[in-house]
A and B are shown apart, each in its own frame.
Chain A
């Protein structure tokens, strides 16, 4: 008994000492005072130096929280209980959030730097007039591949259909996303990746099943690590991941398949639960500043919608057609439409069946 009591007291004592230290640390960082801004963003999706710089310029302390999927973020915002002043969802989620009345309109007059954004990325179908969202980054979905391996096999890779080549047995890594993979199946059959015809969807699913021998694994964000480790020679990825990978390894190459692919956007929004609305606008304006946006682009590696930043960036980065595609190529790309719950669940079910399909 004595032993129990002693252990119990010791544990409590240690906890309270630690609590005290944490409190001191927090107040030293100024996290307990009034002027804070909570940003809810994807993991590692901003240059941390910019957060510090924003703090210095405005005196607002940024609390940075991260999520790993649009849906996880949506769940947390729907439930409330925590106040996010800025969130960065993708386009189809913005549509959904608008429908569910979870967003506050953005006051354009408070964001003079909005003029820096390329017209092409304004006023898109998911948010007409950019009433609720301001572009952050954009990109495509495509194939990253190891040039040495393809050379060895004497192959070229330009289209989705090239992936079905039997020589690529057990070489492909896919990302674990229903829209991306079903989209690949549909695109490879020259259907739209927003196709609503169930026969087409079934056809796409069967086509995907026949790819199974070539697939090594279906993975999440760790695809970057695996490609870096030469675990596989082909990966279906988002353009930003490809850019990061090519930065690390010279023998990797990225291609947006000729049948067409997905064009996506991550935009900044202000959730309805926001407390520091003024700060949120300041933050948006700060991010849209040409120099800041350029710095952020260099760090994150995704394509920036900021034309003033593009002017500041190296030609090597922004002249790269793989990541800043020209008009003709953009025409082949499609943005995900909000399919509505019923059809979306059909996509998900088919994707699940495809994953269950064994070699």
Chain B
């Protein structure tokens, strides 16, 4: 009985996986063994272990880590406070709506806001800090990335918080736990799955950000995603681009295994 039903759900999903995951995956792996002149070689893998690409890998992970961290730090309280509001589902929807406005347009808005004569600098002038270079710095890059990923982090955390059983919280405070203890011992552990899901949804794409590295960071930040985009679209070196992609996918699998083993084997 159970077996039959399982197969039934698997059919559409497995077809999707075969067509749109395995096939592209195979293509990427296949291309990664060819150099720019179309010869079969391992030289792309050799090249990946040169200082240039190792440095790039390191900085990608570092920036992705920072982005995820800040997104989490901002998203968790937001999600928590949202669950306390009256029309919480409405507010949640309103958190998602800004992400429906085209990313490129928002990036252009940020170019205006963060520019030398932009709104942010006008505010800084008024406060008395004085004009700063904001655009093309690590700050602006991380700020805009966090801005973009924020809804993706809030959503799963909100869902996790939302179904938290309130009686657990009452029990905790009845037993004399402080608010902080209740949070660290009860709330946070119970919403850990949501946090993990959020971190995955943010960290993994953050590793391969590209457009923003040019628009907001002025290529002062080069991530693996930027390099892949360059190799596919500019230098036409699909082999090297694929090789980087192979490593990205490996990193993703490792992250999944790493964050997934604690509970029930998933997420």
Is any CB of A less than 8 Å from a CB of B in the complex? yes
Of A122-130, A223-231, A299-307, which binds chain B?
A: A223-231
Give the interface segment out of A263-271, A308-316, A351-359.
A351-359
Answer yes or no: A220 CB below 8 A from chain B CBs: yes
Contact B55 A356 (CB under 8 A): yes
Asked if residues A352 and B116 are in contact (CB atoms below 8 Å), the reply is no
Indicate whether B99 reaches chain A with its CB closer than 8 angstroms.
no
A218 located at the interface, meaning its Cβ lies under 8 Å from any Cβ of chain B in the complex = yes
Q: Is the CB of A341 within 8 A of B36?
A: yes
Contact check: which of A176, A178, A348 meets B214 at CB < 8 Å? A176
B222 within 8 A of A: yes
User: Which residues in B have their C-beta under 8 angstroms from that of A66?
Assistant: none
Residue in B111, B115, B133 whose CB lies within 8 Å of A170? B133
Contacting pair B222 A355 (CB below 8 A) = yes
Contacts of A74 in B (CB 8 A): 236
Confirm or deny: A102 has a beta carbon within 8 angstroms of a beta carbon on chain B: no
Q: How many residues of A contact B (CB 8 A)?
A: 31
Q: B241 → chain A, closest Cβ, in Å?
A: 11
Count the A-B residue pairs with Cβ separation under 8 angstroms: how many? 79
Kindly identify, within residues 8 to 47 of chain B, every residue whose CB is under 8 Å from any CB belonging to chain A: 36-37
Q: Contact string, A316-359, partner B, CB cutoff 8 A, digits 1/0?
A: 00000000000000000000000001101100110011011010
Instruction: For the complex, give the distance between the alpha carbons of A173 and B236 in Å.
Output: 25
Chain A CB within 8 A of B172 CB: no
> Contact at B136–A345, with CB atoms within 8 Å?
no
CB proximity of A97 to chain B, nearest CB, Å = 12
Q: In whole Å, how far is A293's beta carbon from the nearest beta carbon of chain B?
A: 30
Minimal Cβ-Cβ distance residue in A for B55: A356
Question: A225 to chain B: which residues have CB within 8 Å?
Answer: 108, 111
A352 touches B227 (CB 8 A): yes
CB–CB A345/B218 < 8 A: no
Most A-side CB within 10 Å, residue of B36, B218, B219: B218
| Proximity bits, A61-75, B CB within 8 Å = 1, else 0 | 000000001011011
Once the chains bind, are B52 and A348 in contact (CB under 8 Å)? Answer: no
Asked whether, in the complex, the Cβ of B37 is within 8 Å of the Cβ of A341, the reply is yes
Is A275 in the interface zone, CB < 8 Å from B?
no
Q: How far is the CA of A225 from the CA of B217 in the complex (A)?
A: 15
* Residue of A225, A345, A358 with most partner-chain B CB within 10 A: A345
Q: Is the CB of B36 within 8 A of A352?
A: no
Residues from chain A with a CB closer than 8 A to the CB of B115 are: 226, 229, 231
Distance of A141 Cα from B37 Cα, bound (Å): 29
Contact A229 B112 (CB under 8 A): yes
- Binary CB contact string for chain B from 119 to 140 against chain A (1 if under 8 A, 0 otherwise): 0000000000000010110000
Q: Are the CB atoms of B37 and A222 closer together than 8 Å?
A: no
- Residue from the list B52, B55, B220, B230 in contact with A217, Cβ < 8 A: B220
B219 CB contact (under 8 Å) in A69, A71, A218: A218
Contact partners of A220 in chain B: CB under 8 A: 214-215
| CB-contact partner of A342 in B37, B116, B136, B218, under 8 A | B37
Mask, A166-185, CB within 8 Å of B = 1, is 00001001001010000000
Residues from chain A with a CB closer than 8 A to the CB of B222 are 352, 355-356
> B residues within 8 A CB of A218?
214, 218-220
Taking a contact as CB atoms under 8 Å apart, the answer to whether B230 and A352 are in contact is: yes
CA distance A86 to B263 in the complex (A): 57
Are A348 and B235 CB-contacts (below 8 A) given A218-B219, A219-B215?
A: yes
Give min CB distance, B28 to chain A, whole Å: 15
Interface check B234, CB cutoff 8 A: yes
Which B residues touch A226, using CB under 8 A?
Answer: 111, 115
Partner of B218, one of A72, A217, A353: A217
Q: Residue B117 at the A interface, CB < 8 A? A: yes
- Min CB gap B58→A, angstroms: 11
> Would you call A217 and B234 a contact (CB within 8 A)?
no
> A220 CA to B218 CA in the complex, in Å?
9
Give the CA-CA distance A209 to B133 in the complex, in Å.
Answer: 22
> CB-nearest residue of chain B relative to A225?
B111
Q: Is the CB of B36 within 8 A of A229?
A: no
B168 contacts the other chain (CB 8 A): no
Contact assessment for A231 and B214 in the assembled complex, using a CB-CB cutoff below 8 Å: no
Q: Determine if A216 is an interface residue (Cβ-Cβ < 8 Å).
A: yes
Contact A230 B116 (CB under 8 A): yes
Which residues from chain B contact A345 at a C-beta distance below 8 Å? 36, 235, 237
Q: Considering the complex, which residues of chain B in the window 188-230 have a beta carbon less than 8 Å from any beta carbon of chain A?
A: 214-215, 217-220, 222, 227, 230
CA distance A220 to B136 in the complex (A): 13
Which residue of A has the minimal Cβ distance to B47? Answer: A349
Cβ-neighbour of B234 out of A219, A229, A230, A348 (below 8 A): A348
Q: Hey, what's the 0/1 contact readout for A228-266 against B, CB within 8 Å counting as 1?
A: 011100000000000000000000000000000000000
Say yes or no: B235 contacts A344, CB within 8 Å. Answer: yes
Chain B residues with CB below 8 A from A219, complex form: 214-215, 218-219
B96 at interface (Cβ–Cβ under 8 A)?
no
- The contact sample of 23 A-B pairs, CB cut-off 8 A, is A69-B233, A75-B233, A75-B236, A216-B136, A216-B218, A217-B135, A217-B136, A218-B214, A218-B220, A220-B214, A225-B108, A225-B111, A229-B115, A229-B116, A230-B117, A231-B115, A341-B236, A342-B36, A348-B235, A352-B227, A352-B230, A356-B55, A356-B222
Pairs of residues from A and B, 4 with the lowest C-beta to C-beta distance, nearest first: A217-B218, A218-B219, A348-B235, A341-B36
A176-B219, A352-B227 known, 16 other contacts, Cβ within 8 Å: A69-B234, A176-B214, A216-B136, A217-B220, A218-B214, A218-B220, A219-B214, A219-B215, A219-B218, A220-B214, A220-B215, A229-B112, A231-B115, A349-B52, A356-B52, A356-B222
B residues near A, CB below 8 A? 36-37, 52, 55-56, 108, 111-112, 115-117, 133, 135-136, 214-215, 217-220, 222, 227, 230, 232-237
